[in-house]
Chain A
Amino acid sequence: MTDHPYDPRYGELRRRVRRFVALGTTSVIAWWVLLIALAGWAPDLLAEPFIGNVNVGLVLALAQLVSALAVTQLYLRFARTRVDPVAEQLRAGGGTGRVQPEGGLG
């Protein structure tokens, strides 16, 4: 088991992925909780008409769907351009920067 020298690219990749995942997950959940909270504590606001019988609540529900797809696409692009190339280099180098996987899979 050879010890691989610490590769700065690995640390950078790790930070980058953690930041995106943490930010993405918390904002998706926060945005969701905001809508639920409005439904629970400001139902009159959501019942406000927007266009015809379509009210603010339905528009916000639709906005949730749109933002879900938007985050999906953002993440795909982030992973394709900012993660995959670095991960591939680290993998091709036979190691992962800091550590060498030991043995087979658990």
Chain B
Amino acid sequence: MIPELGRPLPTIALFLLFAGVTLYLTARARARTNSLSDFYVAGRTVPAPQNGLALFGNFLMFTSFLTMTGEIAIRGYDGVLFAVGFVVSFVVALLLVAEPVRNGSRYTIGDLFSVRLRERPVRLATAVVTLVVFFFYTMVQMVGAAGLAAPLLGMSQPSAQAAVVVVIGVLTTVYVFVGGMHATTAVQIFKAVLLILAVAILAMLVLVRWGGNLSALLGDAAARSGPDAGQWLSPGQKFGVGTHRWEFVSQLVTVVLGHAALPYLFLRHNTVPSAREARRSVAFATWLVTPFYLAVIVIGFGAAALFGAKAIMAAPGQRNSAAMLVAGELGGTPLLAFVGAVVLLTVVAVTAGLTISAAASFSHDIYASVLKRGRVDAAGELRVARRVVLALGVLSILGGLVFMRQNIAFMLSLDVTVVASTILPVLVFAIFWRRFNTSGALWSLYGGLALTVVLVAFSPAVSGNPMAMIPGADFAWFPWKYVGLVSIPAAFLLGYLGTVFSREHDDARFDVLEARILTGAGAQPAVEARPRETAAVR
């Protein structure tokens, strides 16, 4: 027996309350948003703990909570591994990404690359990749949010779904347009606190229900979820055994490498005063993410034990319903409303982070550098950045409405794979390889992007089965949905070949970049002098 999900009125009322708070935070942020640096990186004034919270709030999508809970409830151990991969990616980000990005760039990753590579081609290529990544992630947020109208609000009619898309798009655009990174940061911190609270309450309720006996909880979950009680808790539920094991490896390696180098989090490493604070904020976020996923694992076990995989897949929103089912069973209407409103807030907080980073990529890399060749002042760039925010808001809403009824969940894994096959290799080469050059970067960025998109387009994610984006057609000749195991090594190889086929290399500029990353000499200071702000932005 499936209890009803989604309480429209209390959930909407609570979400409106949250939205009111975020708009108040945005209005306060407005007064502090004067310069370009305020707009892009909150004037580099965010202390490490707050930035760690905001990083957590920026990183955790509704899928990391809702879809992950369902995945664990349904796939058992394979779902658990997936959740653990997200935590592992934070360690890689701490070691490889945070400090180099803070010291080596002003705002975008294009800054870091152009310290040592030819500026305009490399900025254009990184901006193209960043914007593609933005597009897929934003579609996942918007279309995903439309799909959440059923499990969260108990409304499945298209008008309700469209309303969710429009509300989320408008709120996001207002935050970023009015308050830039100050507002985005405040909204993400607010969301992070509420999401942690929601997950902690749910996990506690599950543990209390089983008297704190984890073994009994696991036993009940396994008994509900499979013909053979032992099976659910052992690996192999998602991909089975045999050749599909390689696809499993592909997915889990990509999860770690891709999430470590997400381009929409690069601005977040620049919102702090120094590399030391960037490091501390990632560490802080790791300490938040670890218990968060432990709690999600417990909730997933609880959903499996209370309802079982079949009932979850039959509920509105399918696997996204698992956490809501648990909330309804253990906490009734108040908890359903609270969790539902927090999930909607999560969507806006993440979309705001995506929007500001895409706006920075466009206005800083493409407009100011590629189009205007640096001949534009900070005020002009800020004006363009704001216009881009409006344009992205409109496009996101339109895209959300167009794709609303389509199954685009594969865009999530596509996106992570694109990142691991483009930004990651170029970042690693740029930081560590003296010989690396522009040609290598372009081969890796464009080649990795094209290869990933083509492989996924001809994979079972897009066609050839009833769960695909285009279920009616079959042109899937590539056997895996998760193509990282092929595309990531290929992108590294392309970067290598592109480099050695071109004679260009600049040792002196590599030395500059390396010294800047290691010591912070020449890095952007905590407080930028005003005159620099009006100086031409290279």
In the complex, the chain B residue whose C-beta lies closest to that of A48 is B234
Q: Report whether B219 and A52 are in contact in the complex, using a CB–CB cutoff of 8 Å.
A: yes
Bound form: Cα–Cα A51–B194 in Å: 34
Per DSSP, chain B at the interface is helix
Expressed in whole angstroms, the minimum distance between the Cβ of A50 and any Cβ of chain B is 10
CA–CA, A95 and B248, complex, Å: 48
Does A84 contact B276, Cβ atoms closer than 8 Å?
A: yes
Which of B94, B113, B519 is packed against the most chain A CB atoms within 10 Å? B519
What sequence of 0s and 1s flags, for each residue 506-530 of chain B, a beta carbon within 8 Å of any chain A beta carbon?
Answer: 0010011011101111111000000
Question: For the complex, what is the distance from the CA of A41 to the CA of B235, rounded to whole Å?
Answer: 9
Q: Do the beta carbons of B91 and A72 come within 8 Å of each other?
A: yes
Is B16 part of the contact surface with A, judged by Cβ < 8 Å? no
Q: Please, which residues of chain B bring their CB within 8 A of the CB of A21?
A: 95-96
Instruction: Say whether B522 contacts A55, CB under 8 Å.
Output: no
In the assembled complex, A104 has its CB within 8 A of some CB on chain B: yes
A53 proximity list for chain B (CB < 8 A): 214-216, 218-219, 222, 233
Which A residues touch B106, using CB under 8 A? 105-106
Decide: B91 and A68 in contact? CB cutoff 8 A. Answer: yes
> What's the Cα separation between A61 and B280 when bound, in Å?
25
Interface residue? B466 (CB, 8 A)? no
Q: Name the B residues within 8 Å of A28 (CB-CB).
A: 88, 91-92, 95
| Given A28-B88, A32-B88, A68-B91, also A41-B245 (CB < 8 A) | yes
B85 at the interface (CB under 8 A from A): yes
- Say yes or no: B234 contacts A99, CB within 8 Å: no
Chain A residues positioned under 8 Å from B516 (CB to CB): 96, 101
A21 and B512 CA atoms in complex are apart in Å by 20
Asked if A76 and B515 sit within 8 Å, CB to CB, the answer is no
Interface presence of B140 (CB below 8 A) = no
- A-facing residues in B218-252 (Cβ within 8 Å): 218-219, 222, 230, 233-236, 241, 245-246, 248-249, 252
| Inter-chain contacts of B276 with A (CB < 8 A) | 79, 84
- 18 new A-B contacts, CB < 8 A, other than A10-B519, A43-B235, A57-B235, are A20-B95, A28-B88, A39-B236, A40-B249, A43-B234, A43-B241, A52-B218, A53-B233, A58-B233, A69-B286, A72-B91, A79-B276, A91-B520, A96-B516, A105-B524, A106-B112, A106-B115, A106-B538
**16 interchain pairs, CB-CB under 8 A:** A25-B92, A36-B81, A39-B77, A40-B249, A52-B219, A65-B290, A69-B286, A72-B90, A72-B94, A76-B279, A76-B283, A87-B518, A99-B508, A99-B512, A105-B522, A106-B538
Q: B residues within 8 Å of A by Cβ?
A: 77-78, 80-81, 84-85, 87-88, 90-92, 94-96, 105-106, 111-115, 119, 214-216, 218-219, 222, 230, 233-236, 241, 245-246, 248-249, 252-253, 256-257, 276, 279-280, 283, 286-287, 290, 293-294, 432, 508, 511-512, 514-516, 518-524, 532, 535, 538
Residues of A at the B interface (CB closer than 8 Å) are 10, 13-14, 17-18, 20-21, 24-25, 28-29, 32-33, 35-41, 43-44, 46-47, 51-55, 57-58, 61, 64-65, 68-69, 71-73, 75-76, 79, 83-84, 86-87, 90-91, 95-99, 101-102, 104-106
